[in-house]
A and B are shown apart, each in its own frame.
Chain A
Amino acid sequence: ETGVTQTPRHLVMGMTNKKSLKCEQHLGHNAMYWYKQSAKKPLELMFVYSLEERVENNSVPSRFSPECPNSSHLFLHLHTLQPEDSALYLCASSQLRSSLDTQYFGPGTRLTVL
């Protein structure tokens, strides 16, 4: 299944680096999401974009900056991260219709902050 792709799959960065995560969906969906998955914790929703507008930002630190240039692409720009930001970052997409929302996930980017 290659409906939602993410690059890179693995990323190691220092605390002073700037990097970006990329997500692309090939499903024709109109909403995209960033989640953080840490060990032994439920998935944490970070950002939601609907029709390329950010509709939700769950108190995420400003060192994470999302960008959604069009309905198929989503980026997460990273700057001066902390070691506790190390996690699996998952992108998802869905076709929002009425009150139903089935999200499809990408394979994730495993981020390690040194």
Chain B
Amino acid sequence: GQQLNQSPQSMFIQEGEDVSMNCTSSSIFNTWLWYKQDPGEGPVLLIALYKAGELTSNGRLTAQFGITRKDSFLNISASIPSDVGIYFCAGQEETSGSRLTFGEGTQLTVNP
């Protein structure tokens, strides 16, 4: 089935730096979601996007639904150690009904 290309696979940054990650698809999506997963826990929803071009913030996090409806990015500003974790994008294809497609995740490490 459809797979999302999420990049980068991993990032190692210093505390205070900004972070950017993105997901791309070959098909059109109706919904883009960004989740964060801590070790041993389930993914926690960070931001949900429902309209092309939509730009939404949640504290230091900002995500955008690409105009082409085939991509999305997540930015984290002024990173802190607790931002460490795996960030997943997920999207709902136009024709997929209830199914969400997930990216493979971006492992973020923040050095104090």
Interfacial chain B residues near A99, Cβ < 8 Å = 30-31, 92, 94
The answer to the question of B87 belonging to the interface, with a C-beta cut-off of 8 Å to chain A, is no
Interfacial chain A residues near B92, Cβ < 8 Å = 99-101
Please, how many angstroms separate the alpha-carbon atoms of A109 and B100 in the complex?
20
Please, how many angstroms separate the alpha-carbon atoms of A90 and B57 in the complex?
27
Interfacial chain A residues near B97, Cβ < 8 Å = 55
Please, how many angstroms separate the alpha-carbon atoms of A104 and B90 in the complex?
12
The A/B interface has a contact count, at CB < 8 Å, of: 64
Cβ B42 vs Cβ A108 within 8 A: yes
Please, how many angstroms separate the alpha-carbon atoms of A102 and B99 in the complex?
10
Selected interface stretch from B33-41, B61-69, B70-78: B33-41
Interface size on B, residues (CB 8 A): 26
Selected interface stretch from A11-19, A42-50, A60-68: A42-50
Please, how many angstroms separate the alpha-carbon atoms of A43 and B88 in the complex?
10
Cβ A101 vs Cβ B98 within 8 A: yes
Interface size on A, residues (CB 8 A): 29
Complex: chain B residue closest to A41, CB-CB: B104
Please, how many angstroms separate the alpha-carbon atoms of A1 and B90 in the complex?
20
The answer to the question of A72 belonging to the interface, with a C-beta cut-off of 8 Å to chain B, is no
Please, how many angstroms separate the alpha-carbon atoms of A57 and B62 in the complex?
34
Please, how many angstroms separate the alpha-carbon atoms of A59 and B50 in the complex?
30
Complex: chain B residue closest to A44, CB-CB: B102
Interfacial chain B residues near A31, Cβ < 8 Å = 98
The answer to the question of B3 belonging to the interface, with a C-beta cut-off of 8 Å to chain A, is yes
Complex: chain B residue closest to A4, CB-CB: B42
Please, how many angstroms separate the alpha-carbon atoms of A37 and B4 in the complex?
16
Pull 15 A–B residue pairs with CB atoms less than 8 Å apart, ordered by A: A1-B44, A40-B104, A42-B3, A42-B4, A42-B105, A50-B98, A56-B99, A90-B42, A96-B98, A100-B92, A102-B33, A103-B33, A105-B44, A107-B40, A110-B40
> Which residues from chain B sit less than 8 Å from chain A, CB to CB?
3-4, 30-31, 33, 35, 40-45, 48, 50, 88, 90, 92, 94, 97-100, 102-105
